Amino acid sequence: MKRCHAIIFSCVLALGLLGASSALSAPWEKIGKTGGISLYSQARQGSGVRAYRGVIELPRSPDEVAAIITDFDQYKAFMPNVVESRVVSRQAEEGDRQRVHYYIRLEIPALDDRDFVVLADIASKLTAEGSTWAIAYRAVSHPKVPALPDVVRLSRITGVWLLQPARGGQATRLTYELHTEFGGSVPDFMVDDQAGDALLDILERLAERCHERHGASVKQERLGLR
């Protein structure tokens, strides 16, 4: 398992995530655990909204889980509030890395729609324990996706998915980190108050997506993990 952790470290380093994290002096604080998900928060320098981290074990292999996370065109089928999702561009990089731009539009009750373009860096590595994945993303501009009238374009979003093999490669220890500033007239304290619940919702829906695509026992196994 130490070797597996070293490979995950290498993936994260290659994507430039450790440099971003090391600039943050605040430690991660555990909030609690619900439905098999451990939830943490971290104050971010220069932001009134905390970052959130969720950790969950899913009874599917990292490759199966990664296939869902990187199916960006289908986010509208299961991600909360997503009404449009599509890949804008895809580029193969050295080794097993990819860079993907994708577009997301959110429909949120009582607010103007939000949208954003994301650049995702995807890296994977096959090990004796199973595949490991690091998927890092951030909001960017893109000439093919201009801002729309009456839609608030979000520009401060960062996140990372880390997928590590567990239980002999038959399961996945998934870590998801997310930091979002919502833009428009919504005050930071309101965003911060809801961000943790939003991350939990994303992970719960991801688990259900695994259930739909890879078998009928995911929800029971996720909640029990006996």
- Average pLDDT of the residues in 61-82: 95
Beta-bridge partners for 159 = 137, 178
Q: Which phi and psi (to 5°) does residue 67 adopt?
A: -60, -35
Show the domains of the chain with their CATH numbers.
Answer: 2-82+122-146+155-224 (3.30.530.20)
**pLDDT higher at 197 or 225:** 197
The per-residue pLDDT for 218 is 41
Q: Which phi and psi (to 5°) does residue 121 adopt?
A: -100, 125
Which pLDDT band holds residue 215 (cuts at 50, 70, 90)? low
Q: Which long-range contacts (CB under 8 A, 24 or more apart) does 24-29 make?
A: 28/53
**pLDDT surpasses 60 at 199:** yes
Phi-psi category of residue 97: left, alpha or beta, with phi > 0 → left and psi -120 to 50 → alpha: beta
**pLDDT surpasses 80 at 68:** yes
**Token pair recorded at residue 4:** 């597996």
DSSP character at residue 43: -
Query: With contact defined as beta carbons under 8 Å apart, do 51 and 179 qualify?
Result: yes
- Average pLDDT of the residues in 161-190: 87
**pLDDT surpasses 60 at 19:** no
Nearest 10 degrees: CA dihedral of 10, 11, 16, 20?
-80
**pLDDT surpasses 90 at 224:** no
**What is the average pLDDT value for the chain, to the nearest integer?**
84
